[in-house]
Structure 1
Amino acid sequence: MRSKVWLIGGTSDSVAIAKILAGNNIPLVISVTTPSARSLYDRGLQIVTGCMNLARMQSFCQQEKFTAVIDASHPYAVEVSQQAIAITTKLNIAYLRYERSNYQGNNSTIANSLITELDSFETLLAGNYLQEETVLLTIGCKTLPQFQSWQDRATLYARVLPKIESITIAQSAGFKSDRTIAIRPPLTPDLEKALWQQWNISLVITKASGKAGGEDIKRQVALDLNIPLIIIARPQITYPQKTTNLSGILDFVKFRALIL
């Protein structure tokens, strides 16, 4: 029996993975959470849209008879990865996590003085990092509600995807229209720099999203403008198997095809 692969997608990384698997004629089903994410993929691919809880994941795996799961979800989609690990372990399905490489960059004295890495949003919000600062949050929309209590202690701006649900979440968290910008990354260095200057930003908060998420550009703009940048580390998850190389994915799937 040939491997049938479930690709947990929705990221730019998963689009590249889908091209590799489809190009090698490997049976593939892709899952994404939103219609806008669905539009990222080539036509003709089998794509399932919508969020899945643990029970739905299990029935999905059993129905499709997957022999391998490739988890290319966002680095901060902790619940998705944890549920996928639990289901694949229970059903004895091979699991591989594709994790985009961490940024390897400037270790200069200036960079070290401007760039702070914290282990979590909880650590950030428990401290006084934001106090009386003009802050640009480039962290996605889901975490914005945690910053609502800071709206009267700092000037907060949010950058979100140009989707109704993202803008709605931002508004509910206290971000008015003049402090919200909806734009789809990646941004060029010049545009990134212009946005920081337009709002007189004194502090930027982002995630450790790697080069694919524009982390390298934000680091460079922080140095160019002498603006502090706080980077929130990726959640720590123990994966059964993980790779940071696209070539490792094809090797993994072909190995599964040989032994099944």
Structure 2
Amino acid sequence: MKRIWLIGGTEESATLARAIAALQFPCVVSVTTESATSLYPIAPSIQVWVGKLDPNELPRFIKKYNIGVVLDASHPFAVEISKNVIRVTQDADAVNPHPVAYLRFERPTLTTDETGVWSIESFEKLLETDWLRGQRVLLTIGYRFLSLFKPWQDKAMLFTRILPSQVAVEAAIEAGFSSDRIIALRPPISYELERSLWRQWQISTVITKASGSPGGEDVKRNVAKELGVKLIVVERPAIAYPQVTNSVTEAIAFLSRIINDRSARIQE
């Protein structure tokens, strides 16, 4: 039987993995950190693979694990893995002798229509504006984008909240954040804690990514409204997914069709 490749690391991917395990479909889940493995069920049909895949390694990975269908539930801003997997699954030569189906599981977006919430296309576009100048700014954007804000350390008072990992802390320090302007916490962040942190640092502007409710965007929106803080939401990168859903039921139905159809062909 062909395997499912679930590209994971998110809350939704854990939900999908449990549904896949319940059906006993063979599945390999890929995550980038060892700590993420705890999200997934211990089941005979589920194998968790830890590491970062080079684009050139993807065809080999697909063949090694006998992948028949990819369910991409990676983070909305993890665009490189999504782009590379779409490219490989659409390249018949790369995945011969059997085609590989692809489905993107995309968490719903939140609308930006309330007062005090500003939406912008990218970090680069944001830094072309003067929105941050003279402000006390909290960045809740992960560590990978912090280097973009290094030139702004002398134009605004910048704070950052990152994951409690060595690589994240080192990236924050390299971007010019002193230890008193870094807080390392693992989500989820409660409404009460979010509000307290903003008050403690007297934050006037918060920058976050359009990561939806699982990423705590809804909590930030509510706290911003209560405290009168400007919330800047950086939009998700635009990707032309071949197929996309935000429904667990639809995703599992898609997987079932692919797996059962290919199993039937083998039996014939």
C-alpha distance in structure 2 between counterparts of 1:184 and 1:129, whole Å = 28
Deviation readout 1:23-61 (Å, 9 max, x if unpaired): 110100011111111222223431111100111111000
1:57 and 2:38 matched: no
The residue correspondences of 1:111-260 to structure 2 (distance < 5 A) are 111-112=114-115, 114-260=116-262
Q: Could you say which residue in structure 2 is the equivalent of 1:26?
A: 25
Q: Residues 3 and 256 of structure 1 are in contact (CA less than 8 Å); yes or no, is this contact kept in structure 2? A: no
Q: Could you say which residue in structure 2 is the equivalent of 1:70?
A: 71
C-alpha distance in structure 2 between counterparts of 1:151 and 1:36, whole Å = 32
Aligned residue for 2:67, secondary structure, equals coil
C-alpha distance in structure 2 between counterparts of 1:22 and 1:159, whole Å = 34
Q: Residues 136 and 203 of structure 1 are in contact (CA less than 8 Å); yes or no, is this contact kept in structure 2? A: yes
Normalising by structure 2, what TM-score? 0.92
C-alpha distance in structure 2 between counterparts of 1:177 and 1:146, whole Å = 19
Equivalent residue in structure 1 for 2:104, among 87, 97, 110: 97
CA shift, 1:259, in A, is 2.3
Q: Could you say which residue in structure 2 is the equivalent of 1:85?
A: 86
The amino acid across from 1:123 in the alignment is K
Q: Residues 133 and 155 of structure 1 are in contact (CA less than 8 Å); yes or no, is this contact kept in structure 2? A: yes
Deviation readout 1:170-205 (Å, 9 max, x if unpaired): 111111110000001111111100000000001000
Aligned residue for 1:7, secondary structure, equals strand
CA shift, 1:241, in A, is 0.6
C-alpha distance in structure 1 between counterparts of 2:260 and 2:33, whole Å = 34
Q: Residues 3 and 253 of structure 1 are in contact (CA less than 8 Å); yes or no, is this contact kept in structure 2? A: no
| Aligned residues between the structures | 254
C-alpha distance in structure 1 between counterparts of 2:215 and 2:186, whole Å = 11
C-alpha distance in structure 1 between counterparts of 2:206 and 2:16, whole Å = 31
Q: Residues 9 and 32 of structure 1 are in contact (CA less than 8 Å); yes or no, is this contact kept in structure 2? A: yes
The amino acid across from 2:61 in the alignment is F
| Unpaired segments ≥5 residues, structure 2 | 263-268
The amino acid across from 1:245 in the alignment is S
The amino acid across from 1:33 in the alignment is T
Q: Could you say which residue in structure 1 is the equivalent of 2:7?
A: 8
Aligned residue for 1:132, secondary structure, equals coil
Aligned residue for 1:116, secondary structure, equals strand
Superposed CA RMSD: 1.1
Query: Is the alpha carbon distance of 1:238 and 1:174 closer, same or farther for their aligned partners in structure 2, counting shifts above 3 Å?
Result: same
CA shift, 1:104, in A, is 4.2
C-alpha distance in structure 1 between counterparts of 2:183 and 2:198, whole Å = 12
| Unpaired segments ≥5 residues, structure 1 | none
Normalising by structure 1, what TM-score? 0.95
C-alpha distance in structure 2 between counterparts of 1:3 and 1:245, whole Å = 23
CA shift, 1:258, in A, is 3.0
Q: Could you say which residue in structure 1 is the equivalent of 2:36?
A: 37
Fraction of identical pairs, as percent: 43
Aligned residue for 1:236, secondary structure, equals coil
Q: Could you say which residue in structure 1 is the equivalent of 2:265?
A: none
Aligned residue for 1:39, secondary structure, equals helix
The amino acid across from 1:198 in the alignment is Q
